Amino acid sequence: MPTTKPLRILMTGANSGIGEVAARHLQACGHALTVVCRSRERAEQSLSWIQAPSQIVIADLSDLHAVKTMAHQLCVDGQQFDVLVLNAGLQYAGVDRPRWSHQGFELTWAVNHLAHQCLLQLVLPLLQDSPTPRVVITASEVHNPTTGGGRVGQPAGLGTLAGLDQGKGAAMVDGTSPFSADKAYKDSKLCNLLMGLELSQQQPQLPVICWSPGLVIPRTKDGFFRESRKANPWGQAVFGFIARDLFRLTEDPERAGDHLVSLVLGQHDATGMRYLSNHVVAPGRHIFESTEPSPEATDLERAHTLWTLSEDLINSSLQ
Ligand SMILES: NC(=O)c1ccc[n+]([C@@H]2O[C@H](COP(=O)([O-])OP(=O)(O)OC[C@H]3O[C@@H](n4cnc5c(N)ncnc54)[C@H](OP(=O)(O)O)[C@@H]3O)[C@@H](O)[C@H]2O)c1
């Protein structure tokens, strides 16, 4: 059921881009946000619009210890939530060497997937008292090698998950592909869907909504393509012009943020996992609808294995 009463929302990735649009809108409608930001400095730069009862908590998602400390504090403070929004994400396509998290995992996978599973596991009990709990996870259609975005470059695919057996220092989840920041991003988004699937198996009554916002290329120098722009400024400028201005394949950040708001408010709830994609159907025209994820993203056994191996890596990192 869509909610009208004020919700308590714990959200990552609310200080920029799609998440910021959604978070500002939700706060303006009277919902209380707890926004996870990477540092005090970044919070000062980008979250001056947060007003009580909304609040800021600090955790750099590239550091599992920081995630644990922040989540532990929320538990100690007796915080309760209705909605958990796992929206933070990064990519650095165009950079040819892997970057590493504090615990030595490839950065894209560590932030987009591992930190979010860690946070999810630690704060899930804080949703238990909610009459309308839900989890919203921002994935991407590039998880699916048959979609427009997923077809470009190397496809998503986790192989035998050998990279997780290798643990720290593995550049790719499949443990065999040469490093590709673009594939690392696609793989991390596939992991988002598999994590949502496994969560819905463990908590059959909990609505778990994964979604894809479509291609969103802001005109600012910040945002999702910031690292790729540093690596290849001209290439990214041409890509932005062609995709956004010439062929109009991109989604407006405001509309993508509105879709996230609708998910947070429960307008697309269903028991179990649901995937909605905002896909382009004609120049300048998107449809936001329930969509079948890729076959790999619907593999229950794979979802369970990914969860278990990720949990092992989280636990061994936090010892
Ligand atoms: N833009 C697209 O075309 C597109 C397409 C499909 C899916 N998505 C997904 O949509 C979500 C939002 O992306 P966006 O386009 O809004 O990009 P964005 O403007 O770059 O926002 C990403 C958010 O993630 C946060 N984040 C990244 N690394 C972090 C870390 N180590 N610790 C804490 N927070 C961190 C960022 O915080 P800082 O600002 O402090 O870095 C920011 O709030 C992501 O999950 C992305 O994968 C985007």
Q: Is the CB of 216 under 6 A from ligand 1?
A: yes
Q: Is the CB of 192 under 6 A from ligand 1?
A: no
Does this model's pTM top 0.95? My answer is yes
Q: Is the CB of 88 under 6 A from ligand 1?
A: yes
User: What is the whole-number distance in angstroms between the Cα of residue 18 and the centre of ligand 1?
Assistant: 8
Residue 130, pLDDT score = 96
User: What is the whole-number distance in angstroms between the Cα of residue 225 and the centre of ligand 1?
Assistant: 9
Residue 290, pLDDT score = 96
User: What is the whole-number distance in angstroms between the Cα of residue 112 and the centre of ligand 1?
Assistant: 9
Q: Is the CB of 103 under 6 A from ligand 1?
A: no
Q: Is the CB of 38 under 6 A from ligand 1?
A: yes
Residue 200, pLDDT score = 97
Among 24, 34, 36, 38, which is best to mutate for testing ligand 1, by the most ligand atoms less than 8 A from CB?
A: 38
Residue 1, pLDDT score = 46
Q: Is the CB of 94 under 6 A from ligand 1?
A: no
Ligand 1 atom nearest residue 18's Cα: 16
Q: Is the CB of 66 under 6 A from ligand 1?
A: no
Q: Is the CB of 185 under 6 A from ligand 1?
A: no
Residue closest by Cα to atom 37 of ligand 1: 13
Q: Is the CB of 150 under 6 A from ligand 1?
A: no
User: What is the whole-number distance in angstroms between the Cα of residue 233 and the centre of ligand 1?
Assistant: 19
Residue 292, pLDDT score = 97
Output the 3-class SS for the chain: CCCCCCCEEEEECCCCHHHHHHHHHHHHCCCEEEEEECCHHHHHHHCCCCCCCCEEEECCCCCHHHHHHHHHHHHHCCCCCCEEEECCCCCCCCCCCCCECCCCCEHHHHHHHHHHHHHHHHHHHHHCCCCCCEEEEECCHHHCCCCHHHHCCCCCCCCCCHHHHHCCCCCCCCCCCCCCHHHHHHHHHHHHHHHHHHHHHHCCCCCEEEEECCCCCCCCCCCCCHHHHHHCHHHHHHHHHHHHHHCCCCCCHHHHHHHHHHHHCCCCCCCCEEEEEEEEEECCEEEEEECCCCHHHHCHHHHHHHHHHHHHHHHHHHC
Domain boundaries, the chain: 8-216+252-318
Ligand 1 atom nearest residue 46's Cα: 39
- Rounded mean pLDDT for each run of 10 residues along the chain, 319 residues in total: 79 98 98 98 98 98 98 98 98 96 98 98 97 97 96 97 96 98 98 98 96 94 91 92 93 97 90 93 95 98 98 97
CATH superfamily for domain 8-216+252-318: NAD(P)-binding Rossmann-like Domain (3.40.50.720)
